[in-house]
Structure 1
Amino acid sequence: MTSDGDDGTARLAATLQGVRESRGLSANALADLSGVSRAMIGKIERGEAQPTAALLGRLIGPLGLTMSELFTRVEGPRNRLARRADQPLWTDPETGYQRRAVSPPDGHLQLVEVELPPGRSVSYPPDPFVRTHHQIWVLAGRLLFREGDAEHDLAAGDCLELGPPQPCTYANPGKTTTRYLVALAKNA
């Protein structure tokens, strides 16, 4: 899914609304649980607003999803081979952060390639990290990763295994785009 175009926005909107409703949550209940206003949830679900990565991070925790699970639902099931041309790409409208779902959907392991522009950062609450084992492997550039009170300064080739779920921030302090791979496995 590319974030460009109405079709991707409409699929994301319908998926978020469908998951919310399947969990028996009203938009007001989701607003209370996520800290996202009822008005913004309505705009997102009607496809009138493209949510940022940080905003999606706040919404998916109360919905019981990871970001990868959300985008897998948006794209729908496919086969075991995920060719690059078919890998869903989403761009955060606020930061320019690009997220590519590399691995085939519905597998036990999810691989996500991320490009974070220079001087940008994306923060998430702890909820999206609760149900997954999470590792970050820096492919190019430098990544400052804040995990609660700990800050990890990662260079190309470094790999970090996340600890217990905490608020996290991915930040690119450099002058070039940082590329990293996120590997997620569902906790048993």
Structure 2
Amino acid sequence: MDIEAVIAQRLKTLRTERGWSLDELAQHSGVSRAMISRIERQEASPTAGLLSKLADALAVTLSGLMSGPQAPRHQVSRRDAQPQWRDPQTGYLRRLVSPAGGEHDTDIVAIDLPAGAKVRYDAHTAPYEQQVLLLQGRLRLTVGGEALELNPGDCTRMPLDADHIFENPGQGTAHYLVVVRKAHSPHHPPGVPR
């Protein structure tokens, strides 16, 4: 199954599991009902920012929209089988490195951001944080209005509770890893109901 079909099916499954209509998901995400319907019918290719809004409303990571239901406990993620998705607006390429399947506390994602590209994400309401490790190229992150310049080998940690922008000011593609982790309240450790 191609990645657009996986995203479409996963979006519809997550929406219906919550008992939400298209209108309810539109209200929670700020994405129009018409666009959500077009994504679910594979008539539109969503941008990274739009997918991020949908994922946040559904309380999953972007990787949670790119992979199917729960996978076996022990699984190897082979490079040639890792799901990839390309943002139609910027050419940004996102590859899910972690074994696909289900919603986990941590996901590893490899990103290729073309020269001059800029991807903007709204603040998330779901409790996630991420670490970004630049492998090659240049990367400028703007988090809540504060700009951070990364060089190869640099790593930063950032909560996702503020608007953030990934920008490649360099001449070549920026290659980086993102580790997304569900943040847990110190008063509510993993696995303990709230």
- Give me the TM-score of the superposition, normalised by structure 1: 0.88
Matched with 2:10 is 15
Matches within 5 A, 1:138-149: 138-149=134-145
Give the Å deviation of 1:50: 1.2
Matched with 1:41 is 36
Matched with 1:50 is 45
> Is 1:180–2:186 an aligned residue pair?
no
**Deviation string, structure 1 residues 101-128 (Cα, Å, up to 9, x no partner):** 1122355432111000011111111127
Structure with greater helix percent: 1
With over 3 angstroms needed to count, the CA separation of the structure-2 counterparts of 1:84 and 1:98, relative to structure 1, is same
- Give me the TM-score of the superposition, normalised by structure 2: 0.86
Where in structure 2 are there 5+ consecutive unaligned residues?
185-194
Identity %: 40
Aligned pairs, number: 181
**1:12 corresponds to which letter in structure 2?**
I
Give the Å deviation of 1:179: 0.6
Cα distance in 2 for residues equivalent to 1:147 and 1:54? 15
Give the counterpart of 1:26 among 21, 24, 35: 21
Q: Structure 1 segments of 4 or more deviating over 6 A?
A: none
**1:57 corresponds to which letter in structure 2?**
S
Give the Å deviation of 1:186: 2.1
Where in structure 1 are there 5+ consecutive unaligned residues?
2-6
With over 3 angstroms needed to count, the CA separation of the structure-2 counterparts of 1:89 and 1:168, relative to structure 1, is same
Matched with 1:91 is 86
3-state SS in 2 of match to 1:73: coil
Cα distance in 2 for residues equivalent to 1:164 and 1:17? 24
RMSD of aligned residue pairs (Cα, Å): 1.8
